[in-house]
């Protein structure tokens, strides 16, 4: 019996079907999680392109009530955006990424949150939700990030922020500047090599260091 290789079209269809399933699972899961405020959740920042040049993994969607209302109106808890938001949106991280990688390149990339649940700040999220609840959320989300990685098969994985990379396991210093400030670390996400960067919007990073980070990411 001859086994046929998956075509790009069938692989794309499979990726979209799996991600639709994950959105449905997330709606059911977060509907059962007790929390004092509901800021919603967000999974993908782009369509789940098969074999994108980079899958960017962020820690958690930030924002408060206004973001929740805007994202709910867009249906972000039900489906992914029509275009990669890193290439189109006006928030700080998107602008920084366009500065580094260019809009055309980012249009072909995918972004995902490691922790899907939106919260105004990570520190506030940790303070407000008890450890057991956060452990349930982390287990649910990280398992599905792994499923997304497997089904879209990215050429590279980049974690935005060292904390994001370390959600998935140990990491080690990779690139430092002349003052020995760590710019990138390496580890694994979903069992695959991944590179973590300084948080591109949450840390003050000089233009030369941004260029070093970009070059390291593109060369990895």
CATH number where 73 lies: 3.40.470.10
Q: How many domains does the chain have?
A: 1
For residue 3, being part of any structural domain is answered with no
Task: Tell me how far apart the alpha carbons of residues 41 and 114 are, in angstroms, rounded to a whole number.
Answer: 11
For residue 143, tell me if it sits in a domain: yes
Confidence of residue 4 (pLDDT cuts 50, 70, 90): very low
Does the pLDDT value for residue 94 go beyond 80?
yes
Q: DSSP string of 46-115?
A: S---SS-S-EEEES-----HHHHHHHHHHTTTTS--SS-GGGT--SHHHHHHHHHH-HHHHTT-EEEESS
- The percent of residues above 90 in pLDDT, for the chain, comes to 87
Query: Residue 79 falls within a domain, yes or no?
Result: yes
In this structure, what DSSP letter does residue 22 have? H
Domain membership flag for residue 29 = yes
pLDDT in tens, 34-89: 888 899 999 999 999 999 999 999 999 988 889 889 999 999 999 999 999 999 99
Residue 105: pLDDT over 80: yes
Query: Contact, 168 vs 149, CB < 8 A?
Result: no
Query: Does residue 202 lie within any of the structural domains?
Result: yes
Domain of 211 in residue numbering reads as 8-219
Tokens coding 177: 């500047």
Question: How many whole angstroms separate alpha carbon 216 and alpha carbon 218?
Answer: 6
d(CA 42, CA 85): 12
Residue 173 lies in a domain: yes
In a domain, 1, yes or no: no
Name 112's bridge partners.
44, 57
Residue 2 lies in a domain: no
């Amino acid at each position: 019996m001859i086994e046929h290789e998956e075509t790009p079209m069938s692989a794309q269809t499979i990726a979209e079907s799996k991600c639709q399933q994950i959105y449905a699972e997330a709606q059911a899961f977060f509907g059962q999680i007790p929390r004092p405020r509901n800021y919603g959740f967000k999974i993908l920042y782009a369509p789940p392109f098969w074999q994108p040049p980079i899958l960017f993994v962020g820690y958690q969607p930030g924002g408060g009530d206004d973001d929740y209302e805007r994202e709910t109106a867009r249906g972000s808890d039900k489906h992914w955006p029509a275009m990669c938001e890193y290439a189109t949106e006006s928030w700080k991280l998107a602008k920084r990424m366009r500065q580094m990688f260019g809009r055309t390149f980012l249009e072909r990339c995918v972004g995902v949150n490691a922790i899907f649940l939106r919260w105004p700040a990570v520190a506030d999220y940790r303070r407000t939700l008890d450890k057991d609840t956060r452990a349930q959320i982390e287990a649910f989300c990280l398992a599905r990030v792994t499923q997304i990685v497997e089904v879209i098969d990215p050429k590279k994985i980049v974690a935005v922020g060292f904390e994001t990379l370390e959600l998935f396991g140990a990491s080690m210093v990779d690139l430092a500047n002349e003052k020995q400030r760590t710019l990138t670390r390496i580890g694994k996400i979903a069992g695959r090599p991944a590179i973590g960067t300084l948080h591109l919007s949450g840390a003050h990073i000089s233009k030369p260091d941004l260029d070093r980070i970009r070059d390291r990411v593109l060369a990895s």
